Structure 1
Amino acid sequence: MVLSGDPRPDSHTARLANGIGSGAAQLIGARPPEVFDLADYGHRLLVPDDTDVIRAVAAVRDADLLVIATPEYNGTFTGVLKVFLDRFPSGGLAGRPTLSVVTSSTPGRAEVAESHLHALLADLGATTPGPGLAVAEDQLTRPDVLISGYLDRVRSALGVPSH
């Protein structure tokens, strides 16, 4: 499953995450991932009993593999992603393999934000099979190459033999 934490709908961060999620699903022989774009939820993320948000939380909690993506905002991940992930208690994603993807204007800012996201995912109990992907926006001109290279790096961590 893919979770995009970009507050802008159909963002390049969401498209990159969808490509990674689809590619990872192919690698592990799973069906195409379900996609939740938090931009579609808006203020409903703050409504405790919103049925669509509750369904998204349940899907994330039960996913076989998560790809969680966010642009870097002010040195960390977005507020909409934090609001969504705050619905999980500490350890609430225990054992969920999770790939993190962060985009930013510069590589250094992306790496810092990815480390913040990685720490939050660890607190939630998610396992991180392989490194997260921290990407500067100028690297997004060839997303197919970026996705392929990243999936090659995490292939063995996902339990897929090298080709």
Structure 2
Amino acid sequence: MLHSITRTLIVYSTVDGHTLKICQRIRQSLKDHGHQLTLISVEEGLELDCSEFDSIVIGASIRYGKHRPFLYEFIARHHAVLTRMPSAFFSVSAVARKAGKDTPAGNAYFRKFVHKANWSPRLAAIFAGKIDYSRYRFIDKQMIRFIMWMTNGPTAPDAVVEFTDWNAVDAFALQISRLR
């Protein structure tokens, strides 16, 4: 009996690299489940023929309450393919470190995303990201520290705090491997 290989495209939009790290973890899990994988940025994916894949996973980070514009451009260009094939989306933000804001139903950024993108993926997840003040430009560091101060997050100027629940990422990857 022949076992068909699922060709999966993983597309990421990241500011500081943490969403890419999550995508790499998902890629490894899907590889272990027999998927043939392509991992690219949303910018690289704009001109890609997405119909060559069997499923698509998109991961995108939030900065200052917004996803990056290229994410919406990618979805608009590939909307027809995304709506007819198995697809998954996850969003990464520091706000998801709080209970209730770590699910698609409880996350206002996710609801805004679905409305603005006019696309509802078959599978969705919200993951808490990472704060790494040493990587930020001066203005970003001050803005993010202020936001963290307002939301009772880490504010030490040298703090590096990873909030990601890697077990939740692994569980999401398992769900993706079963998409048909």
Q: TM-score, normalised by structure 1?
A: 0.62
Alpha-carbon separation, structure 1, partners of 2:177 and 2:57: 12
2:150 maps to none
Alpha-carbon separation, structure 1, partners of 2:81 and 2:29: 26
Q: Normalized per residue, which structure has more helix?
A: 1
Q: Normalized per residue, which structure has more strand?
A: 2
Q: Given the superposition, is the C-alpha separation of residues 102 and 156 from structure 1 closer, same or farther in structure 2, using an over 3 Å criterion? A: closer
The answer to whether the Cα contact below 8 Å between 1:2 and 1:68 also exists between their aligned partners in 2 is yes
Please show how residues 10-159 of structure 1 align to structure 2 within 5 Å: 11-27=17-33, 29-31=34-36, 33-38=37-42, 41=44, 53-54=46-47, 56=48, 58-59=49-50, 61-89=51-79, 91-107=80-96, 111-118=107-114, 123-124=118-119, 126-128=121-123, 131-137=124-130, 141=162, 146-152=165-171, 155=174, 158-159=177-178
Where 1:149 maps in the other structure, the secondary structure is: helix
Once the 2 structures are TM-superposed, how far is the Cα of residue 104 of structure 1 from its aligned partner? Answer: 1.4
Once the 2 structures are TM-superposed, how far is the Cα of residue 100 of structure 1 from its aligned partner? Answer: 1.7
1:46 maps to none
Q: Given the superposition, is the C-alpha separation of residues 120 and 88 from structure 1 closer, same or farther in structure 2, using an over 3 Å criterion? A: farther
Q: Given the superposition, is the C-alpha separation of residues 25 and 73 from structure 1 closer, same or farther in structure 2, using an over 3 Å criterion? A: same
Q: TM-score, normalised by structure 2?
A: 0.57
Q: Which of these two proteins has the greater Rg computed from alpha carbons? A: 2
Q: Given the superposition, is the C-alpha separation of residues 117 and 21 from structure 1 closer, same or farther in structure 2, using an over 3 Å criterion? A: farther
Once the 2 structures are TM-superposed, how far is the Cα of residue 142 of structure 1 from its aligned partner? Answer: 7.9
Once the 2 structures are TM-superposed, how far is the Cα of residue 14 of structure 1 from its aligned partner? Answer: 1.2
Once the 2 structures are TM-superposed, how far is the Cα of residue 157 of structure 1 from its aligned partner? Answer: 6.6
Give the gaps of 5 or more residues in structure 2.
Answer: 1-8, 132-159
2:137 maps to none
Once the 2 structures are TM-superposed, how far is the Cα of residue 156 of structure 1 from its aligned partner? Answer: 5.3
